[in-house]
Amino acid sequence: MSQNSLWTGIGRGARRRCPNCGQGRLFDGYLRVRAACAVCGASNADYPSDDFPPYLTIFAVGHLVVPLLVLIDLRYQPPLGLQAAIWLPATVLLCLLLLPTMKGATIGLCWALGLFRQQETKA
């Protein structure tokens, strides 16, 4: 059994490509994972990527937006309404742009570590 490279998996996933081959598209839409890669046939839907991508997205966007907000507030002191008009849409837009990348990177991480979604057994 070959060992999958951690950075290869994360990099391929972040580029929204199949972590196994790096060629096929990982998503069928905005966030829907393709059941099988069109190039290599790898089953990418078996990797758990439920809660970690939103956490990573909020973490990254928070570390981008909050320092900028504080810097602009201290330096220029714009009115509260103007700040809300700037930072709220910027935060939402950054989250929406970054979420698919983080989900792909999470799937790549799961691929590299060999983590699979547990199959439900019927009693």
pLDDT at residue 68 tops 90: yes
Mean pLDDT over 52-63 rounds to 98
Alpha helices in the chain (DSSP H): 6-14, 52-76, 80-113
pLDDT at residue 118, rounded to an integer: 81
Place of tokens 């714009």: 78
pLDDT at 3: 66
Mean pLDDT, residues 113-118 taken together: 90
Question: Residue 1's pLDDT band (boundaries 50, 70, 90)?
Answer: very low
CB of 34 within 8 A of CB of 13? Answer: no
Q: Indicate the pLDDT class of residue 122, thresholds 50, 70 and 90.
A: low
- CA–CA gap between residue 34 and residue 68 (Å, rounded): 36
**DSSP-derived secondary structure letter, 32:** P
What's the half-sphere exposure (Cβ side, CA atoms, 13 Å) at 40? 13
pLDDT category of residue 4 using cuts at 50, 70 and 90: confident
Please tell me the number of Cα atoms within 13 Å of 114 on its side-chain side.
Answer: 4
More confident: 100 or 4: 100
